[in-house]
Amino acid sequence: MLAKDVLYPSRSLEVSTRLRDMKIITFLTLILATSISVALDLTNSFWIWTNELTPSPDWPTGIAPVGARAFRRVAITPPDKTPLSASIIIAVDDQYTLWVDGNEVGTGVDYQTAQGYCVALSPYCYNVFAVEATNGGTVPNPAGVLAAIEITYTDGSTQMVVSDSSWKALNSPTIPTGFEEFNFDDSSWSAATVESPSGGSPWGPIDTPSSPC
């Protein structure tokens, strides 16, 4: 090897130059990967509720009956991927309990300050995010669920899930037993009704935690 390098010094120099270039490319790739990693936030999420909303002079986006309602979002795992974790940001007017894959994750009562959770996911072909949201008060008033979820797979790739009309909502104050479970059948539920984008009326901007995971 030494003799070869002596005989072909230009080739040795070429290899050295290639190695240097590869190191530079790797370094730049790492910088680029870091710079394009976008923090999870609610920018692309929507306030949603059931289709029981009725317009009101004071609340153009609608008011909802007081009481609890159930919401579900099933995230299908892409082929050849395995779910690893979920970074979740959520705010609910007025309070909620959140489950992931049938396990209770947390509760919240402050829709002006979103809460964040970092949750391990079941390595299955889909994951279930379920929310029991309760509209407080004594008379109909604004109600909404706002969420952003970043699912990370074992290969490092990610999938975004935001609150929108892809969520299922049950128009009933009776929360079905086991609605948060994997195998619950929500096929008879309605699509959630979109009220306004994140930052929109009547809630306006809310405080958001940094990416939980």
Interface with Ca ion includes 135 (CB under 5 A)? yes
The single residue listed with the structure tokens 């901007």 is: 205
Q: Which stretch binds Ca ion (CB under 5 A): 26-34, 72-80, 129-137, 167-175?
A: 129-137
- Intra-chain end-to-end CA distance of the chain, in Å: 49
- Closest distance to Ca ion from the beta carbon of 54 (Å): 14
Name the residue nearer to Ca ion (CB basis): 45 or 135: 135
Name the residue nearer to Ca ion (CB basis): 98 or 143: 143
Task: Tell me if residue 133 falls in helix, strand or coil.
Answer: strand
Q: Which of residues 77-96 bind Ca ion (CB under 5 A)?
A: 93-94
Q: Identify whether the C-beta of residue 144 lies closer than 8 Å to the C-beta of residue 153.
A: no
- Closest distance to Ca ion from the beta carbon of 175 (Å): 17
- Closest distance to Ca ion from the beta carbon of 74 (Å): 26
4-43 mask for Ca ion (x: CB under 5 A)?
----------------------------------------
What are the strands, taking DSSP E only, across 37-101? 46-49, 67-76, 83-93, 95-100
Q: Which stretch binds Ca ion (CB under 5 A): 12-20, 78-86, 130-138, 162-170?
A: 130-138
Interface with Ca ion includes 50 (CB under 5 A)? no
Interface with Ca ion includes 141 (CB under 5 A)? yes
Q: How many angstroms separate the CA atoms of 92 and 48, rounded?
A: 9
Q: Which stretch binds Ca ion (CB under 5 A): 74-82, 117-125, 141-149, 162-170?
A: 141-149
Cα separations (Å) of 96 from 12, 69, 78, 105? 65, 10, 29, 11
From the CB of residue 7, how many other CB atoms can be counted at a distance below 10 Å? 9
Q: String of b and e for 134-164 (b: at least 16 CB within 10 Å)? A: bbeeeebbbbbbbbbbbbbbeeeebbebbbb
Name the residue nearer to Ca ion (CB basis): 94 or 132: 94
Q: Can you give the binding site for Ca ion, defined by CB under 5 A? A: 93-94, 135, 141, 143
